[in-house]
Amino acid sequence: MNDNLSRADGARVLADLHALRAIGAYKTGVHKPTFSEPHLASLQWLVQRLPEAGLTGEIDGIGNILGTSAKSGPKLLAGSHLESQNHAGWLDGPLGVIYALEAARVINRDPNINGAVEVASWCDEEGHFGSFLGSRSYVGGVTEADIDEARDRNSGRSMREALRDAGLAGRARARCEPGRHIGYLEAHIEQGETLESGALKIGIVTSIVGIWQYRISFTGEQNHAGTTRMAIRKDAGLALARFCVGIDETFPKLCGPRTVWTTGRITLDPGAPSIIPGAAEMLFQIRDDDAVIIARLEDLLRTMAADVSARGPCTVAVERIRAGAPAIMDASFQNAVEAASTAFAGGKSVRMPSGAGHDAQVLATVMPSGMLFVPSIGGISHHWTENTVDADIVTGAEVFVDACRRLLKG
Ligand SMILES: [Zn+2]
Provide the pLDDT for residue 395.
98
Per-residue pLDDT at 234 exceeds 50: yes
Kindly give the distance from the C-alpha atom of residue 252 to the centroid of ligand 1, in angstroms, as a whole number.
Answer: 29
- pLDDT digits 0-9 by tens, 186-224: 999 999 999 999 999 999 999 999 999 999 999 999 999
Provide the pLDDT for residue 399.
98
Q: CA neighbours within 13 Å on the CB side: how many for 264?
A: 11
Q: Whole-angstrom Cα distance, residue 24 to residue 44? A: 13
DSSP 46: H
Per-residue pLDDT at 105 exceeds 60: yes
Q: Whole-angstrom Cα distance, residue 143 to residue 136? A: 10
Kindly give the distance from the C-alpha atom of residue 395 to the centroid of ligand 1, in angstroms, as a whole number.
Answer: 19
Cα–Cα separations (whole angstroms), residue 178 to 173, 182, 364: 16, 10, 13
Length of the chain counted residue by residue? 410
Kindly give the distance from the C-alpha atom of residue 66 to the centroid of ligand 1, in angstroms, as a whole number.
Answer: 18
Given a contact cutoff of 8 angstroms between Cβ atoms, the answer to whether 269 and 278 are in contact is yes
The residues, ordered by sequence, that sit 6+ positions from 285 with a Cβ below 8 Å of its Cβ are 211, 212, 213, 214, 261, 262, 264
Share above pLDDT 70 across residues of the chain, in percent, rounded to a whole number: 99
The residues, ordered by sequence, that sit 6+ positions from 306 with a Cβ below 8 Å of its Cβ are none
Per-residue pLDDT at 3 exceeds 80: no
Kindly give the distance from the C-alpha atom of residue 145 to the centroid of ligand 1, in angstroms, as a whole number.
Answer: 26
Tell me if residue 193 falls in helix, strand or coil. coil
Provide the pLDDT for residue 5.
57
Q: What is the mean pLDDT of the chain?
A: 96
Number of neighbours of residue 290 by Cβ within 10 angstroms: 18
Kindly give the distance from the C-alpha atom of residue 76 to the centroid of ligand 1, in angstroms, as a whole number.
Answer: 20
The one-letter amino acid at 374? V
Peptide bond just before 270 cis, omega within 30 deg: yes
The one-letter amino acid at 232? I
Kindly give the distance from the C-alpha atom of residue 216 to the centroid of ligand 1, in angstroms, as a whole number.
Answer: 28
Pairing of strands 181-189, 369-374: parallel
The residues, ordered by sequence, that sit 6+ positions from 29 with a Cβ below 8 Å of its Cβ are 21, 84, 87, 88, 89, 90, 383, 384, 385, 386
Q: Please, which pLDDT band fits residue 364 given cuts at 50, 70 and 90?
A: very high
**Against a cut of 0.85, is the pTM above it?**
yes
Kindly give the distance from the C-alpha atom of residue 81 to the centroid of ligand 1, in angstroms, as a whole number.
Answer: 7
Kindly give the distance from the C-alpha atom of residue 340 to the centroid of ligand 1, in angstroms, as a whole number.
Answer: 22
Given a contact cutoff of 8 angstroms between Cβ atoms, the answer to whether 388 and 377 are in contact is yes
Q: Please, which pLDDT band fits residue 299 given cuts at 50, 70 and 90?
A: very high
Given a contact cutoff of 8 angstroms between Cβ atoms, the answer to whether 401 and 186 are in contact is no
Per-residue pLDDT at 49 exceeds 60: yes
How confident is the model over 53-74, as a mean pLDDT?
A: 98
Kindly give the distance from the C-alpha atom of residue 293 to the centroid of ligand 1, in angstroms, as a whole number.
Answer: 25
Kindly give the distance from the C-alpha atom of residue 166 to the centroid of ligand 1, in angstroms, as a whole number.
Answer: 22
Nearest C-alpha neighbor of 388 from the set 144, 182, 90, 142: 90
Q: What is the CA radius of gyration of the chain?
A: 24
188 beta partners: 373
Kindly give the distance from the C-alpha atom of residue 132 to the centroid of ligand 1, in angstroms, as a whole number.
Answer: 11
> CA angle, corner 227, sides to 222 and 232, nearest 5?
60
- Type and span of the H or E element at 252: helix 236-254
Kindly give the distance from the C-alpha atom of residue 363 to the centroid of ligand 1, in angstroms, as a whole number.
Answer: 14
Provide the pLDDT for residue 360.
98
Per-residue pLDDT at 85 exceeds 70: yes
Kindly give the distance from the C-alpha atom of residue 176 to the centroid of ligand 1, in angstroms, as a whole number.
Answer: 21
Kindly give the distance from the C-alpha atom of residue 82 to the centroid of ligand 1, in angstroms, as a whole number.
Answer: 8
Residues with C-beta atoms within 5 A of ion ligand 1 = 92-93
- pLDDT digits 0-9 by tens, 144-160: 999 999 999 999 999 99
Q: Whole-angstrom Cα distance, residue 350 to residue 338? A: 8
- Type and span of the H or E element at 349: strand 349-354
Nearest C-alpha neighbor of 282 from the set 237, 235, 225, 234: 237
Provide the pLDDT for residue 111.
92
Kindly give the distance from the C-alpha atom of residue 163 to the centroid of ligand 1, in angstroms, as a whole number.
Answer: 22
Query: b or e along 11-45 (b: 16 or more beta carbons within 10 Å of the residue's beta carbon)?
Result: ebbeebbeebbebbebeebbbbbbbbebbbebbee
Per-residue pLDDT at 2 exceeds 50: no
- pLDDT digits 0-9 by tens, 329-339: 999 999 999 99
DSSP 232: G
Q: Whole-angstrom Cα distance, residue 329 to residue 323? A: 19
Given a contact cutoff of 8 angstroms between Cβ atoms, the answer to whether 32 and 388 are in contact is no
Kindly give the distance from the C-alpha atom of residue 180 to the centroid of ligand 1, in angstroms, as a whole number.
Answer: 25
Kindly give the distance from the C-alpha atom of residue 50 to the centroid of ligand 1, in angstroms, as a whole number.
Answer: 21
The one-letter amino acid at 255? C
Per-residue pLDDT at 1 exceeds 80: no
Helices 94-108 and 37-49, packing angle to 10 deg = 10
> Which strands sit side by side in the sheet containing 315-323, from one edge to the other?
260-269, 279-288, 210-219, 315-323
Q: Whole-angstrom Cα distance, residue 362 to residue 382? A: 21
Kindly give the distance from the C-alpha atom of residue 113 to the centroid of ligand 1, in angstroms, as a whole number.
Answer: 30
